[in-house]
Structure 1
Amino acid sequence: MARKTVSRKRKVGEPKDQQQLDWCQVPYKRNCASCSSHHAQQWWYSRHSVVWALRGREFRPQQQHELRLQRSLRGFAAGRLPGILREREFSLGRLNKVFASQWLNYRQVVCGTKCNTDGHNDWIFSIAWISDNLAVSGSRDGSMGLWEVTEEVMSQAERTQNDEAVPSYAHISHRALKDIPKELTNPYNCKVRALAFNTNHKELGAVSLDGYFHLWKAEHNLCKILSTKLTHCKENVCLTYGQDWSVYAVGSQAHVSFLDPRQPTTSIKSVSSRERGSGIRSVSFYEHIVTVGTGQGSLLFYDIRAQRFLENPLNRDGILKLTTGKGWLNHDETWRSYFSDIHSFPNAVYTHCYDESGTKLFVAGGPLCSGLHGNYAGLWS
């Protein structure tokens, strides 16, 4: 018997969405399908009504609107905060020069001092985490070490922790050790001074005192990608990466240079620090503000969007500059022999970091002269 052909043409004026819905409702009874079609039709028309449009504008993009609002507020606060920061200085006893720092939580900061040499033949100048359990260290001996914090190490540290919950530590050995390229320069000047990790591309940037920027693929090991000569190549001692801007910022003797490794070196943009001679010793991104710590104990704030330093609200003719406190200086034999006639020494800002909220800035360092023993630490909020 010939099969009866059923026309699938939709009726004039019937919404296309309704036709598709009817075919999806075939297994159900006709009255259910009819009811569903009726509700679907109402739903389709309501979506094209003014009420639905207004309701969608109010509720559907609410999360995106809130995220944009939060981002705008953070950006606004980042530009206004430096002008109202006030210093609270801390005593670090007789520690010698703080070179690194990082917030552990809302009230604790971990610091690295001049005495770090584990796994290297000279001082460790920088450490960057590339995953939850892998870190890379950069040393004055010209090498980069890859370290793995295993569950065994964590368990060992937890067993030695005392009842007062004071953080404890355990010693580990590096998993790999890589030397930075030395074929293009003086091998005795290839000291790794700073590291910065790009989490989006899993790449690690490094700067060395010979004026080169090095890029490594950093996941489970280190694989060199490129090395490039910097425009301002004297005293390249600090580095950071701006995730929102996809650029590295390098501090040198008198400039901050912004570079994208995938662009030619001619595209590198630089800005003068306004403090010549003392050098830039630390640099960081927070929103659109680049915070610069100098060898003269100053904190400067550069707006990367406006491409200018923030102005002093009390002096429109000058830039905003915060100056660190006196810190502690050891009056040892070196000081008595060469510096006793100098009444005060500025503390170089070797490290600084914002907390998660962006409202507190930890700043630390010590005397710029390598022969002097001292430290400085302060919380600006």
Structure 2
Amino acid sequence: MEQTGSRKRKAPAIEGAAEGASSSRGSAAAAAGEGSPLPPKKQRLPALRRSLVPCLLGRAVGARGRAGSRGFEGRLRGYAVQKLPELLQERPLALGTLNKVFASQWLSTRQVVCGTKCNTLFVVDVQYGHITRIPLLQDRFPEPARAQPGCGIHAIELNPSKTLLATGGENPNSLAVYQLPTLDPVCLGDRQGHKDWIFAIAWLTDTVAVSGSRDGTVALWRLDPHVVRGSTAWHSDAGLPVYTHIRPRDVDPIPRSSTNPGNQKVRALAFSGKNQELGAVSLDGYFHLWKACSTLSRLQSVKLPYCRENVCLTYCDDLSLYAVGSQAHVSFLDPRQRQQNIRPMSSREGGTGVRSLSFYQHIITVGTGHGSLLFYDVRAQKFLEEKASVILDSSQEPTGRKLRLTCGRGWLNHDNQWVNYLGGMNEFPIALYTHCYNWPEMKLFVAGGPLPAGLHGNYAGLWS
């Protein structure tokens, strides 16, 4: 089995990764006076939790241990999901001179891992703003110098148990896997894999992942459980961590469109654990579906209603629904319905595009290419609207204006490209390429950068 050493570094501690609390009660056997027992100790009230859902739950069903049913808690969480966006406030995060954050995932209550266009993998502490860079994994046999620069890191995904992280390597064609919470390297998929940049990753199980590339293929990778369990103990004679080099178990090309056979690049993936199906979006305007088990078995390909800039995809288990983001719309697909009952949603953001999507219950969050976040209720088929008051218990009617959270301007490198694109002006569109929720803490991390490809800059913010 081939192995490679990586540079030695101090891995960032993942705070809250193994949080737990235990308590024990003692009994008093002493007596006061004529053997009378001590008065019983006053029972301590439970510690306050800074979260909207426990607060509402306590108010609704009583704070002294009367937990509501799971169904009630689900309905309450759904109510909080609808109320949360209008309560969020932005706190900008400084990322220095990094260029365009394309991917992000929460690692703990304070730490988010991010990937950038400049091929940097880092962890940011959202409380203090500290940034820790993570070394990228290198191919066993480095390729000759490429004619064009790499695209950077477009995907970061955690496996279901949150023990492994999959992303791109130093070569953006390769799949890198790290152990959590230490971020030690486990393996690199650089043998007989993709021949072009990886744009999307999805985990099927704790040890099986799928990657999608702009070479027009999806690749299934199966990790050896023994390698995963023993990875943190492997070191070279020099004391450097060691990782293995793996090859995909299955590679399947997507069907070529008759209209544009050269543009069948895989842009986004989403996995349905309930149906064991993998969805993919290609830049030629098609949605593809596979049965995903030990191998990939293609089920169908569907022409999308909007074919320009289909760059993001998400799946909702509650509704068994895929959502695809395009230049100015979000289209909804249920593979089991011949006729789609949910009409596409128009972002109405001046054609700057839908750049990131996420589902939580029946609410979909939309990150646009114009620096704003929109929130759409799929069941009601309408956007969440602004209220005259942001007080949680307010009964005031909606104003009729679409609820829109506008992000800050971020940082822009004032170089020659800035002069050529904007003529030296400071107003420029910020694209929100990634966002991710930490629902237990009711926090939303949002990041991106300037929309024009030639501009160098970044944006990151914590909404809470």
Residue 372 of structure 1 aligns with which residue? 455
2:399 paired residue among 303, 306, 316: 316
Compared CA separation, residues 171 and 301, structure 1 to 2 (3 A): farther
For 1:155, the aligned partner's letter is G
2:109–2:441 Cα contact (<8 Å) kept:
no
1:226 aligns with 2:226: no
- Helix, strand or coil at the partner of 2:262: helix
What displacement does 1:304 show?
1.6
What displacement does 1:199 show?
0.4
1:181 aligns with 2:255: yes
For 2:313, the aligned partner's letter is L
- Helix, strand or coil at the partner of 1:69: helix
1:257 paired residue among 325, 328, 331: 331
Greater C-alpha radius of gyration: 1
Distance 2:276 2:265 in 1: 23
1:361 paired residue among 425, 429, 444: 444
For 1:124, the aligned partner's letter is I
What displacement does 1:153 show?
5.0
What displacement does 1:191 show?
1.5
Distance 1:221 1:108 in 2: 34
2:104–2:114 Cα contact (<8 Å) kept:
yes
1:286–1:358 Cα contact (<8 Å) kept:
no
For 1:200, the aligned partner's letter is K
1:99–1:125 Cα contact (<8 Å) kept:
no
Compared CA separation, residues 358 and 126, structure 1 to 2 (3 A): farther
Q: Cα RMSD over matched residues?
A: 2.4
Residue 247 of structure 1 aligns with which residue? 321
Residue 418 of structure 2 aligns with which residue? 335
Residue 12 of structure 1 aligns with which residue? none
For 2:407, the aligned partner's letter is T
For 1:243, the aligned partner's letter is D
What displacement does 1:87 show?
1.2
1:118 paired residue among 173, 182, 186: 173
Compared CA separation, residues 248 and 357, structure 1 to 2 (3 A): same
After superposition, residues 1-381 of structure 1 pair within 5 angstroms as 66-114=69-117, 115-116=152-153, 117-119=172-174, 120-150=194-224, 151-153=226-228, 155-157=230-232, 159=234, 170=243, 172-175=245-248, 176-265=250-339, 267=341, 269-314=343-388, 316-357=399-440, 359-381=442-464
What displacement does 1:221 show?
2.1
1:236–1:251 Cα contact (<8 Å) kept:
yes
For 1:230, the aligned partner's letter is L
Distance 2:66 2:300 in 1: 40
- Helix, strand or coil at the partner of 2:358: strand
Compared CA separation, residues 255 and 210, structure 1 to 2 (3 A): same
Determine which structure has the larger helix proportion and give its number.
Answer: 1
Q: Which moved more, 1:112-121 or 1:204-213?
A: 112-121
Residue 48 of structure 2 aligns with which residue? none
Residue 34 of structure 2 aligns with which residue? none
- Helix, strand or coil at the partner of 1:216: strand
Distance 2:377 2:306 in 1: 20
2:219–2:251 Cα contact (<8 Å) kept:
yes
For 2:74, the aligned partner's letter is R
Compared CA separation, residues 96 and 242, structure 1 to 2 (3 A): same
- Helix, strand or coil at the partner of 1:188: coil
What displacement does 1:248 show?
0.5
1:146–1:174 Cα contact (<8 Å) kept:
no
What displacement does 1:63 show?
10
For 1:130, the aligned partner's letter is L
- Helix, strand or coil at the partner of 2:80: helix
- Helix, strand or coil at the partner of 2:440: coil
What displacement does 1:65 show?
5.3
Distance 1:91 1:147 in 2: 35
1:230–1:265 Cα contact (<8 Å) kept:
no
For 1:87, the aligned partner's letter is E
Compared CA separation, residues 338 and 278, structure 1 to 2 (3 A): closer
What displacement does 1:325 show?
1.6
Give CA-to-partner distance per residue, 1:36-92, whole Å, 9 cap, x none: xxxxxxxxxxxxxxxxxxxxxxxxxx9995112211110110000000101122223
What displacement does 1:131 show?
0.8
Distance 2:445 2:197 in 1: 23
Q: Which 5+ residue runs of structure 2 have no aligned equivalent?
A: 1-64, 118-151, 154-171, 175-193, 236-240, 389-397
Distance 1:255 1:292 in 2: 10
What displacement does 1:156 show?
3.4
Distance 2:329 2:279 in 1: 18
Distance 2:460 2:111 in 1: 13
Compared CA separation, residues 125 and 157, structure 1 to 2 (3 A): farther
What displacement does 1:183 show?
4.6
Distance 1:304 1:237 in 2: 20
Distance 1:290 1:225 in 2: 26
- Report the count of equivalent residues: 313
What displacement does 1:374 show?
1.9
For 2:79, the aligned partner's letter is F
2:436–2:445 Cα contact (<8 Å) kept:
yes
Compared CA separation, residues 143 and 112, structure 1 to 2 (3 A): farther
TM-score by length of 2: 0.63
What displacement does 1:349 show?
1.0
Distance 2:373 2:270 in 1: 20
2:369–2:431 Cα contact (<8 Å) kept:
yes
